[in-house]
């Protein structure tokens, strides 16, 4: 999920209150978890530490090593470049 999508979801959650009192704790917990995920995603990557201090860097331009697509009837199917074609909507998977 992209940061922009997370921000849009959080904006809606901030303007809409849960309709049932019983669901309120789960709603507020999910909203705070989403808020924390956005903050974490916006932090720069830490490449190395020097003298106990992080040296921040831009995210690496990583290329996917494989993809997966969830088909309703059969679950996930995994693809790599040997397939020749990667289906539309397939989720990229990265190595460390």
Alpha helices, DSSP H only, in 1-96?
A: 3-15, 24-42
pLDDT of residue 84: 86
26, with CB counted inside 10 A (0-12, 13-18, 19+), is: exposed
Residue 53 vs residue 88, higher pLDDT: 88
Work out the pLDDT band at 63, boundaries 50, 70, 90.
confident
Say how far apart CA 94 and CA 8 lie, in whole Å. 25
Residue 61 pLDDT exceeds 60: yes
Domain ranges of the chain: 3-57, 62-96
- What pTM does this model have? 0.40
Work out the pLDDT band at 82, boundaries 50, 70, 90.
confident
């Amino acid at each position: 999920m992209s940061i922009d999508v997370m921000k849009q979801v959080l904006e809606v959650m901030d303007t809409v209150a849960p309709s049932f009192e019983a669901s309120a704790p789960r709603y507020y917990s999910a909203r705070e978890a989403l808020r924390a995920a956005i903050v974490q995603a916006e932090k720069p990557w830490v490449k190395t530490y020097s003298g106990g201090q992080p040296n921040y860097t831009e995210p690496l331009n990583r290329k996917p090593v494989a993809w997966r697509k969830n088909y309703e009837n059969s679950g996930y199917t995994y693809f790599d470049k040997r397939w020749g074609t990667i289906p539309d909507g397939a989720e990229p998977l990265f190595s460390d």
